[in-house]
Amino acid sequence: MEMKITVSCPTPNRCTLLILVLFSFAASPLHASLSFNFYASSCPTAELIVSNMVRSASSSDPTIPGKLLRLLFHDCFVEGCDASALLQGNGTERSDPANTSLGGFSVIDSAKSVLEIFCPETVSCADIVALAARDAVITAGGPAFEMPTGRRDGRISNAANVRSNIVDTSFTMIEMIRLFNSKGSSILKACAHTIGVAHCNAFSDRFQMDSKGNLTLIDTSLDKAYAKELMKKCPSGSSASKTVNNDPETSFAFDNQYYINLLGHKGLFQSDSVLVEDERTSARVEAFANDQETFFRSWRDSFLKLTTIGVKTDDEGEIRQSCSFAN
């Protein structure tokens, strides 16, 4: 999957806005109950409506694609791809500090509102989240592909399940592999943040500045010149809401530039930098950096597998009338 293995917030403000992860699953890539063109008869314009909403929102706010991708990851890795991350209320996943910086909800809600007009009680919020993330990638210049639908919405959303299922930017390779194995993945292929932004305190522990303004690298794998740029953007005492782009070169384009950055030791997160140093992932980082089409193919396959984690079908779930509340 990588969609940006970036990662999330073990503490309230230590969050990135997107995490992508490329991984390989031992299970079949498609859930048996999902199918292509699932809404062909019941709501033939469903995918078009979602796509139009994503394009419209992204045209006015270029951070939307990254937010939608991160929303999908946080949803799928906790209770499965069942829109449980959208449910509001005390003690829900959405209320956990690790999820307080999630965004893109308005796009999902707008699409759902339109779909309820044309196809009431037909299209699940879980499918909208998955389709919106796919379309977000396309909008940002990534590969287009068909994806199966038919997910149903979960009824359970528990904040206590969030922290143990989301990656943090300080994770080691072993910690990341352990988490992905728990989700049914077999071999971690690669991770990278290609779009999105990150809060300063998600990476500021990789360097420090003394009283005279001199830089000291805590993480020596980080390029010193890049660290100086980050230090200027995130000086000591910066607001918790201060962010920087994950990819300083092509900030809002879904491409392979972040892998090129990694090879130059300019990966924003420690959890990404270890990919270059570890023999299990270094070759794939180089392959993605050298050939964008290779990255796109791997992304497509990994995304399709990601969106089948813990899918609810038939009586396991429902079709919500509002994505924020169970029926």
In whole numbers, what is the pLDDT of the chain averaged over residues? Answer: 83
Tens of pLDDT, residues 46-84: 999 999 999 999 999 998 998 999 899 899 989 899 999
Cα 230 off chain centre by: 22
Q: Residue 212 corresponds to which amino acid?
A: K
Determine which of 124-128, 143-147, 190-194, 219-223 has the lowest per-residue pLDDT on average.
190-194
Rounded to an integer, what distance in angstroms lies between the CA atom of residue 327 and that of residue 319?
8
Over residues 275-302, the mean pLDDT reads 88
| Sequence ranges of the binding site for heme b | 193
Cα 234 off chain centre by: 23
Rounded to an integer, what distance in angstroms lies between the CA atom of residue 182 and that of residue 67?
24
Cα 316 off chain centre by: 25
Question: What are the residues facing 318 on neighbouring strands?
Answer: 153
In this structure, the number of other CB atoms found within 10 A of the CB of residue 92 comes to 19
Q: What would the DSSP string read from start to end of 103-171?
A: --HHHHHHHHHHHHHHSTTTS-HHHHHHHHHHHHHHHTT-------B--BB-S---GGGTGGGS-BTT-
Of 142, 128, 153, the residue nearest 53 (C-alpha): 128
Catalytic residue of the set 31, 74, 199, 265: 74
Give ∠ CA 38-165-140 in degrees, rounded to 5.
55
Please indicate whether residue 312 or residue 209 has the higher confidence score (pLDDT). Answer: 312
31 pLDDT more than 90: no
Q: Hey, what domains does the chain have and what are their CATH numbers?
A: 45-196+246-307 (1.10.520.10)
Rounded to an integer, what distance in angstroms lies between the CA atom of residue 20 and that of residue 72?
10
Determine which of 73-87, 122-136, 267-281 has the lowest per-residue pLDDT on average.
267-281
In this structure, the number of other CB atoms found within 10 A of the CB of residue 244 comes to 18
| Sequence ranges of the binding site for Ca(2+) | 75, 78, 80, 82, 84, 93, 194, 247, 250, 255
Question: What are the residues facing 185 on neighbouring strands?
Answer: 25
Helix (H) or strand (E) holding 301: helix 292-306
The model's pTM is 0.83
Supply the pLDDT for residue 195.
Answer: 80
Contact 205, 170 (CB under 8 A): yes
Rounded to an integer, what distance in angstroms lies between the CA atom of residue 248 and that of residue 240?
20
Best-predicted range by mean pLDDT among 24-33, 35-44, 171-180, 199-208?
35-44
Supply the pLDDT for residue 237.
Answer: 73
Catalytic residue list contains 74: yes
Q: 64-76 and 105-118 are packed helices; what angle lies between their axes, rounded to 10 degrees?
A: 80
Q: 105-118 and 46-60 are packed helices; what angle lies between their axes, rounded to 10 degrees?
A: 150
| Sequence ranges of the binding site | 75, 78, 80, 82, 84, 93, 193-194, 247, 250, 255
Percentage of the chain beyond pLDDT 90 is 45
Supply the pLDDT for residue 201.
Answer: 76
293 pLDDT more than 50: yes
Rounded to an integer, what distance in angstroms lies between the CA atom of residue 270 and that of residue 274?
6
What band does 35 get if pLDDT is binned at 50, 70 and 90? very high
